[in-house]
Amino acid sequence: MAAKILIIDNDESTLQLFIQVAGALNLDYQIIHNWIRTTAIEDKDNVQVIFVNVEFKSLDLQLLLRQFQKQSHDEKQVSVFYLFSKSFNRSYLAAKRFPHAGELKKPIKAEELFDALNSCLDLEKQINYPEENYRQKIQQFHAYYSVTKELINKLEAYFD
């Protein structure tokens, strides 16, 4: 299962840093420029980390957290990091009451972002290994080949 990170922000310099880091570590990511209740999130179950700008006025943080809360205690909970630029911002102060994994003050530095990701993901596993990626694809092709061959052999009996 590929780790996915969700970024809810519209600040271009922050987004650029996230895009580069996600690209470098082969992390799947989705950027949401502004959060509304009906925002569609692809592959929601794979989201493991959320970076959210808590200063968005339209953001209903409580609702967002509830959406990603895992029902089972055995499952690893999604790590939520707050992004903010003013430490006296009312929304930020209000958000602090909710459980979260950490906070990143803007402008965000690469080291801080890595520390945050490192605390909740195994980043070593994400390092690029192109040969292995190809080998895995070939394995998948062969697996599908075997299943289909078996089915065709079974059907042959009917058509003979």
Q: What is the DSSP string of 79-92?
A: EEEEEES-TT-HHH
Q: Report, in this order, helix, strand and coil percent for the chain, each rounded to 5.
A: 45, 15, 35
139 interacts with another protein by CB under 8 A: no
Nearer to another protein, 33 or 135 (CB): 135
Q: How far is the CB of 96 from another protein (least distance, A)?
A: 27
Instruction: Return d(Cα 86, Cα 55) in angstroms, integer.
Output: 9
Instruction: Return d(Cα 59, Cα 56) in angstroms, integer.
Output: 5
- Interface segment toward another protein; rule CB under 8 A; list 41-49, 53-61, 89-97, 134-142: 134-142
Instruction: Return d(Cα 47, Cα 1) in angstroms, integer.
Output: 10
- Interface segment toward another protein; rule CB under 8 A; list 49-57, 78-86, 91-99, 138-146: 138-146
Beta-strand pair 28-32/4-8: parallel
Compute how many residues bind another protein; rule: CB under 8 A. 37
Report the 10 Å Cβ neighbour count for 112. Answer: 16
13 interacts with another protein by CB under 8 A: yes
34 interacts with another protein by CB under 8 A: no
The answer to whether 47 touches 83, Cβ cutoff 8 Å, is: no
- Interface segment toward another protein; rule CB under 8 A; list 27-35, 47-55, 84-92, 146-154: 146-154
110 interacts with another protein by CB under 8 A: yes
Residues in contact with another protein by CB under 8 A are 12-13, 16-17, 20-21, 23-24, 107, 109-111, 114, 118, 123-124, 127-132, 134-135, 137-138, 141-142, 144-145, 148-149, 151-152, 155, 158-159
